[in-house]
Every structure is written in C-alpha cells, then in structure tokens.
Amino acid sequence: MTAPNPEKLQEIKDRLVERKKRLWLEVKEQLKSNIGAGYQEMLSAARDEEDQAVVSLLAETHLALLGPKRQELEAIEEALLRLENGSYGLCEECGQPIEWRRLEIMPETPLCRNCMSYREKIAKAGTR
C-alpha cells in the first residue's frame, strides 16, 4: 500500500471542507424551519452577559436533534484535524493504514473496514 501523496490529501481536504459547508447550511435551514421561533424568543430574552451561554446551549440542544448530520459534521471535523496533524489515513482503532479506496469513498471515516464492521456490530447490539 502506497502512502497518499500531498495532492491527494489536498483533494480530500477540499472535499471535506465542501461537505462541511453544505452540511452546515442544511443544519441551519433545519433549525430555521423546525425551531426558529423558539430560538429567536430565547435569544431576545437573554441578557448580554448570558448571550453566549444561551447561544451555545441552543446550538448544543438543537444539534442534538439533528442526529446523523451532527455525527457526520463531527466526523468531518475530526478528519480535518487528522489531516492537520498528519495522522490522517490511519485507523483510530488498530493504527493500521486505512485502504485508500475506502478513504476516497468515505473521506471522513476514522476506521479501517475491519474495525468499522466490528463497531457497527456492537452499535447494533447496543441500540436494541
């Protein structure tokens, strides 16, 4: 297995950043249409010094409602971090290089195929 070259990594990074932008737009739209009124109300009721706390609380609460999109955003954030610190492409679980073909399909994945299927098995057992 050959190490990904810098151009490939840059391409992956661009794709992740693009995806992240799109997801945030979708998330914002979803917030607006689902809980827009309550959001505005809480914000206008907040006093200045509490604003920031209220905003982050709202973001936290509402992002929790966004489920899969939030998970994907987090996965993308982490992948971008790994690109920054040079650990991108290594499996978070076993430390082995993740197949390049797999990264091209799912650039945000932190796991190799084996570890992913293992984790999915556990997740399925756990959510029942």
112 binds Zn ion (CB under 5 A): yes
79 binds Zn ion (CB under 5 A): no
Selected binder of Zn ion within 17, 43, 94, 106 (CB under 5 A):
94
Cβ–Cβ under 8 Å, residues 60 and 67: no
* Touching Zn ion, residues 53-72 (CB under 5 A): none
Structure token pair of residue 103: 């990264």
Selected binder of Zn ion within 12, 27, 91, 103 (CB under 5 A):
91
Whose structure tokens read 């929790």? 64
- Range in contact with Zn ion (rule: CB under 5 A) among 34-42, 47-55, 71-79, 89-97: 89-97
DSSP code at position 97: B
Structure token pair of residue 90: 């290594």
Structure token pair of residue 14: 């661009």
The SS3 call for residue 108 is coil
76 binds Zn ion (CB under 5 A): no
The footprint of Zn ion (CB under 5 A) covers 91, 93-94, 112, 115
